[in-house]
Structure 1
Amino acid sequence: MASFGLLELVVLFISLALSLAIVVPFSGVLVRYRANFNPKGLRLDEEGNTAPPTGPVVKSYFAMFQRVYRIEGWPGLYKGIMPSALTTLVVTLFVLLAFDPTKPRRHSKYAAPEAGILGTFFYSVLMLVVSLPATILTYRAVTTPVKLGYFDPMRALRVLLTPTERRRPWILYLTPGLMPAEILHVLVIILFLGPSRRWLLPALTEPNAGVGEISMTKLAFYTIVAIVCTAILTPLEVITTRLVIQRNHASAEYNSVQQEVDGDAEEYEQYGDEEDVIGLREEGDPYLGLADCAKRIIDEEGVMTLSRAWWLTLFGIWANAFV
């Protein structure tokens, strides 16, 4: 087990704070952009009548960034920073304390420690199980129009979780399609990106390796692999975003206000007086699983919805190949 001095801990906290200050606004906008529900045609409401398309039409990541800033301002850009900070701190301390700090282990959304396929898989699944509840809270905090206090966790939990989820928190892991989507994401990283990086860019796996040692031919092949993986991972990330913010109720046919009567229908102060940043799908008509979510997104919003912000996924894959 590693031991750390006061100076090392101070440096760690400062570096984490700086990284969160930079990353949180951009990641929050990404969540909103992929979560925004904007059907391409008329839909039927619960009574069988035609309903017009709902949700703002936001055609790019940068347009969503401008929309968030216009409606919610800087506080809106930093929504979700508290669960993000706690998750980052806990995961970082766990990795530092559980493993030898002289042999750093890479762990991020597009990279995992190199410990063999099975070892890497079990490690990644463990990190997924540990971090999934915090991810759910973060995504929901980002997409809710309610103003949440930074230091009022009980109130935030009442807003972000249904009474059913608060009584049975393990139901978060049973959100239809969520765990399969996350595990598929992990498998793509482990079975394709990891081996490709070690085989095509072996110089990057060695400490103190120089960029000049990289073969341009192999770098081109890795780029092709990264593009193919982007085509697989981006739809999974869009689907995961939709499933993460889909709340669980005791009965799927009831929405939150109708069913949950012990505080879930309380009035809360919201951002924006008349305009929501994004449109959300009706809770009374949830996605029923991974395949159902993909099919409904294609049918209701078009296949291009599954490729939202694909270039950020490609950039993330590339960035993690060189760190």
Structure 2
Amino acid sequence: MPASAAEYFFLIPSLAISLAIVVPLAGVLVRFRASYNPRGLALDSEGSAVPHTGPVVSSYFGMLRRVWQIEGFSGFYKGLMPQLVTALAVSLAILTFMDAPGHRHSAYRAPSAGILGTLLYSLLMMFISLPSAIITYRAITTPHKLPYFGLMKSLRVLLTPTERRQPWILYLTPGLLASQCLHVAYVTLVLAPLHRLLVPIAEESGSVAIFELSWIKISVYFTVVVVSAGILTPLEVISTRLAIQRNQASSEYNSVSQEVEGDAEEIAEYAGADEDVIGLRTDAEPYTGLLDCGKTIINEEGFMALYKAWWLTFFGGLVSAFA
């Protein structure tokens, strides 16, 4: 059944409200997980040990304060445009082609097609939105003040010349597609079935929705969410690190700096900022894959660096259980 005109009419204001809340919180989270805080000494070009001189932020709320102090209010909305375009395109597609009868009152969701069907649908949506996610993460972590409507100028800052000439190379970013697929597979094949098994589903009794509560099942699902946060948070941290790692034509370039072309010189940085909000890893050796990224983070920054803002992943699992 096609969506009504009212649903299309209210799509923009509903997206605006949700993005106004989500974008700042997600932006702080991306910065916090992308920040490079080595625990040991680095070696300079002559082999001498030198301490890390970049900013060290140890908490999510510490990162939030730092964004406000250095970039101000506008800094919270870095990455807004790619998220808006992606959300609008996905919402229009779901409204037009996938909005099934009986679900008008609830949030839009993947079509009910069994576990394998949902897995394929989720993987397809992840694959389609992956370039947008990469651009969003880089827009959030760049020190440059990107224009909201200057698409080509922004892409010259966020993508290397190699990536602009061969955009498909974004899918070949070492380890990124694997980490995203593992995340989708775990949520779809493990978390979602356990959610259906353990979380009470509302049953209609006249005009009243009745929940059949089982505290044993709820306690078990709470444990499942805790374990899931322990599995998913490292994948999310690794995905963030890999998404901002640029694909270069030559191995002489490191993982976070652009190929020399001078494009970024045209884009101003935030006024009054004497330092960047976060420090990024600038080793000559980039992450070579998912496992290498995880091991390198542990070796250089410690095991707990893989669990930055784990409580947000945990809280998200609890909220989604009763959404």
Aligned pairs for 1:71-220 (under 5 A) are 71-104=70-103, 113-203=111-201, 210=209, 212-220=211-219
How far 1:107 sits from its partner (Å)? Answer: 8.3
What residue ranges of structure 1 are gaps of 5+ in the alignment?
none
Cα deviations by residue, 1:72-108 (Å, 9 ceiling, x for unpaired): 0000011111111111111111122221342549989
What letter is aligned with 1:273?
A
Conservation of the 8 A alpha-carbon contact between 2:39 and 2:301 = yes
Given residue 30 of structure 2, which amino acid in structure 1 is its aligned partner? V
Alpha-carbon contact 1:256-1:265 (below 8 Å) kept: no
Query: What amino acid is the match of 2:22?
Result: V
1:59 and 2:53 are equivalent in the alignment? no
Q: What secondary structure sits across from 2:55 in the alignment?
A: coil
Give the C-alpha shift of residue 12 in structure 1: 1.1
* Deviation, structure 1 residue 285: 2.3
Normalised TM-score (structure 1): 0.92
Task: Measure, in 1, the Cα distance between the counterparts of 2:259 and 2:135.
Answer: 18
State whether residues 203 and 210 of structure 2, in contact with CA within 8 Å, keep that contact through their aligned partners in structure 1.
no
SS at the partner of 1:266? helix
Could you tell me the percent identity over the aligned residues? 57
d(CA) in 2 for partners of 1:168 and 1:286? 20
Give, in whole Å, the separation in 1 of the partners of 2:194 and 2:81.
35
Structure-2 change in CA distance of 1:61 and 1:125 (3 Å): same
Distance 2:175 2:67 in 1: 28
CA contact (8 A) 1:163 1:264 kept: no
Q: CA deviation at 1:215?
A: 1.2
One-letter amino acid of the counterpart of residue 148, structure 2 = Y
Q: Distance in 1 between matches of 2:303 and 2:48?
A: 25
Instruction: Give, in whole Å, the separation in 1 of the partners of 2:287 and 2:198.
Output: 39
User: Does structure 2 retain, via aligned residues, the 8 Å contact 1:164–1:249?
Assistant: yes
Q: 1:116 corresponds to which letter in structure 2? A: G
Please report how far the alpha carbon of residue 320 of structure 1 lies from its aligned counterpart in structure 2 after TM superposition.
Answer: 1.1
Gap change, CA 1:209 and 1:266, over 3 Å in 2 = farther
Alignment correspondent of 1:49 = 48
Distance 1:209 1:230, change over 3 A: farther
Whether the aligned pair in 1 keeps the contact of 2:194 and 2:221 (CA below 8 Å) is: yes
CA offset digits 1:8-65 (Å, max 9, x no partner): 3221110100000011100000000000001001012355332321431111101110
Pick closer, same or farther for the CA change 1:221–1:258 going to 2, 3 Å.
Answer: closer
5+ unaligned residues in a row in structure 2: which ranges? none
Distance 1:12 1:260 in 2: 40
Kept in 2: contact 1:253–1:285 (CA 8 A): no
What is the alpha-carbon distance in structure 2 between the residues aligned to residue 37 and residue 209 of structure 1?
51
Q: Deviations over 1:116-137 (max 9, x none)?
A: 2210111011001111111111
> 1:251 deviation in Å?
1.4
2:21 is aligned to: 22
Q: TM-score, normalised to structure 2's length? A: 0.92
CA distance 1:53–1:100, change in 2 (3 Å): same
User: In structure 2, do the counterparts of structure 1 residues 264 and 52 end up closer, same or farther at CA, with 3 Å as the change threshold?
Assistant: farther
Residue 192 of structure 1: how far off its partner (Å): 1.3
Query: Which residue in 2 is equivalent to 1:290?
Result: 290
In the alignment, which residue of structure 1 is the partner of 2:306?
306
Q: Residue 39 of structure 1 corresponds to which residue in structure 2?
A: 38
Counterpart residue number, 2:277: 277
- Report Cα offsets for 1:165-188 as digits up to 9, x if no partner: 000000000000001100110111
Deviation at 1:190, TM superposition (A): 1.1
Distance 1:209-1:260 versus aligned 2 partners, 3 A rule? farther
CA contact (8 A) 1:254 1:283 kept: no
- 8 A contact 2:115–2:189 mirrored in 1: yes
How has the CA–CA distance of structure 1 residues 167 and 188 changed in structure 2, closer, same or farther, with 3 Å as cutoff?
A: same
Corresponding pairs, count: 320
Partner Cα separation in structure 2 for residue 32 and residue 45 of structure 1:
26
Aligned counterparts of 1:67 and 1:259: Cα–Cα separation in 2: 25
Q: Is the 2:204–2:210 Cα contact (8 Å) retained in structure 1? A: no
Q: Report the Cα distance in structure 2 between the residues aligned to 1:184 and 1:161, rounded to whole angstroms.
A: 25
Distance of 2:251 and 2:208 partners within structure 1: 54
Q: What letter is aligned with 2:18?
A: S
The 4+ residue runs of structure 1 with deviation greater than 6 A are 105-108, 205-209, 256-259
CA displacement at 1:268 relative to structure 2: 2.6
* Contact residue 28 and residue 78 of structure 1 kept, 8 A: yes
Return the offset for 1:202: 4.4
